Amino acid sequence: MLPLKNKRILVTGGCGFIGSHLVDRLIELDNEVTVVDDLSAGKLEFIEKHMTNKDFKFIKGDIRDTTIMQETCKEKDSVFHFAANPDVRLSVNEPYFDFESNVLGTFHLLEAMRKNDVRTLIFASSGGTIYGDAEVYPTPESHILMPISTYGASKASCEMFISAYSECYDLKGVSLRYANIYGPRSLHGVMHDFFWKLRENPKELEILGDGKQNKSYMYISDCIMATMKITEYIIKSENNYDVFNVGVSDQIEVRKIAEIIIDELQLDNVKFSYTGGAKGWVGDVHKMLLDTAKLENLDVKPKVVLEQGIRMYIRWLKDRFGWQ
């Protein structure tokens, strides 16, 4: 039997972008799935189709609520922890929010798992922020963590707590250091921002920074496939704790993303303007490429080519929000 079939699973942040796609896959594998989400960033509509499924349960709640965490962790086999503030830029203006929702929330979850003897935790970390301005490209998992945003610092803190709990209380934990994940249901990020700016003014596009920020992007279906492979690995592994970069082996400049989106929207003579500087905002990592050799050893092979994925995502945004 597959390690993730007919299990009792808790997903925090299961109404969010990545979390809701993960819920879809877990349901497909005949698992009993409970979602906890406060709906501050997630959308109930993303999981609405599961509401009538007897093996699915939704709880509107905050992971900082210790009572909710204690109750929802009862009799669970595994937890996928995807609840977090998804906006790196917001965290700069409200650093305490990141600490409270990400770090304190994760601590409450770990305590609930410990007290309920839940054995496996899969954590959505951030390869895009946790290394900061890395000195090695592609950046391996062994690289020192030097985040330059409070969001990245909060994710690094969560990883340290999970590592400690895995060792002290015999948990199986794994941190997934995601590249920039994009695709249907994503409601933030550079592609989403460009779409809305062009929808408002199809003649001009403001690009934060100098447009030369060079980063790695992974399509949501490939992200979920990689997440499932890593989860199956950690369940079978002798290691109590592990980390994986989750991304692809190439990268793209922000300006090129803009050009692809403009072409997909069939716009002509769009004028670019730039806010200037190498970084788009305070805490922005202007260059990011993850070393994915460790992931590739699990036979994870992304299927969606970046330009194709960008176009598919823009079509989803057009279908959902309309165009012009």
pLDDT of 281 strictly over 80: no
Pairing of strands 252-253, 214-215: antiparallel
Question: Rounded to an integer, what distance in angstroms lies between the CA atom of residue 151 and that of residue 245?
Answer: 17
Same domain, 137 and 46: yes
How many domains, the chain? 2
- Edge-to-edge strand order for the sheet containing 56-60? 56-60, 32-37, 8-12, 78-81, 120-126, 172-178, 241-246
**For position 2, what pLDDT does the model report?**
61
3-state secondary structure of 110: helix
**Segment 305-322 mean pLDDT:** 97
Between the CA atoms of 243, 246, 248 and 253, what dihedral angle is there, to the nearest 10 degrees? -100
Question: Rounded to an integer, what distance in angstroms lies between the CA atom of residue 34 and that of residue 19?
Answer: 12
Measured N-to-C along each axis, helices 220-236 and 17-28 cross at an angle, to the nearest 10 degrees, of 60
CATH number at residue 211: 3.90.25.10
Same domain, 137 and 261: no
CB burial of residue 320 (10 Å; 0-12, 13-18, 19+)? exposed
Same domain, 312 and 176: no
3-state secondary structure of 170: coil
Residue-wise burial string across 29-54, b where 16 or more C-beta atoms lie within 10 A, e elsewhere: eebbbbbbbbeebbeeebbeebeeee
Tokens 């409970």 locate to: 34
Residue 205 belongs to domain spanning: 190-215+249-284+304-319
Same domain, 28 and 137: yes
Half-sphere exposure of 196 (CA within 13 A, CB side): 9
pLDDT of 236 strictly over 50: yes
Q: H/E element holding 45?
A: none
Question: Rounded to an integer, what distance in angstroms lies between the CA atom of residue 256 and that of residue 316?
Answer: 20
pLDDT of 1 strictly over 50: no
Take residue 192 and report the two structure tokens written for it: 């989403």
User: Of all residues in the chain, what percent carry a pLDDT higher than 70?
Assistant: 98
Instruction: Tell me, yes or no, whether 297 lies in a domain.
Output: no
In the structure, what pLDDT confidence band is assigned to residue 284 with cuts at 50, 70 and 90?
A: confident
Instruction: Tell me, yes or no, whether 116 lies in a domain.
Output: yes
In the structure, what pLDDT confidence band is assigned to residue 228 with cuts at 50, 70 and 90?
A: very high
Same domain, 174 and 276: no
Kindly report, residue by residue over 138-178, the tens digit of the pLDDT. Answer: 999 999 999 998 999 999 999 999 999 999 999 999 999 99
Residue 140 has what DSSP assignment?
P
Same domain, 100 and 69: yes
Instruction: Tell me, yes or no, whether 61 lies in a domain.
Output: yes
Instruction: Tell me, yes or no, whether 290 lies in a domain.
Output: no
Instruction: Tell me, yes or no, whether 272 lies in a domain.
Output: yes
319: left (phi over 0), alpha (psi -120 to 50) or beta: alpha
CATH number at residue 30: 3.40.50.720
Pairing of strands 241-246, 172-178: parallel
Alpha-carbon distances, residue 257 vs 130, 203, 207, 272 (angstroms): 23, 17, 11, 12
pTM higher than 0.75 for the full model? yes
Q: H/E element holding 207?
A: strand 204-207
Among the ranges given (203-212, 221-230, 247-256, 277-286), the one the predictor scored with the smallest mean pLDDT: 277-286
Take residue 142 and report the two structure tokens written for it: 């062994």
Same domain, 199 and 92: no
- Of 180, 197, 184, the closest CA to residue 284 belongs to 180
Same domain, 46 and 22: yes
Same domain, 153 and 273: no
**Across the chain, what does the average pLDDT equal?**
94
**For position 313, what pLDDT does the model report?**
98
Q: Which of 96, 131, 137, 151 is catalytic?
A: 151
**Segment 281-310 mean pLDDT:** 93
Same domain, 269 and 130: no
Instruction: Tell me, yes or no, whether 142 lies in a domain.
Output: yes
Same domain, 138 and 41: yes
Instruction: Tell me, yes or no, whether 113 lies in a domain.
Output: yes
Alpha-carbon distances, residue 306 vs 46, 202, 219, 251 (angstroms): 24, 23, 8, 9
Query: Is 151 an active-site residue?
Result: yes
Kindly report, residue by residue over 51-98, the tens digit of the pLDDT. Answer: 999 999 999 999 999 999 999 999 999 999 999 877 666 667 788 888
Instruction: Tell me, yes or no, whether 123 lies in a domain.
Output: yes
Same domain, 107 and 148: yes
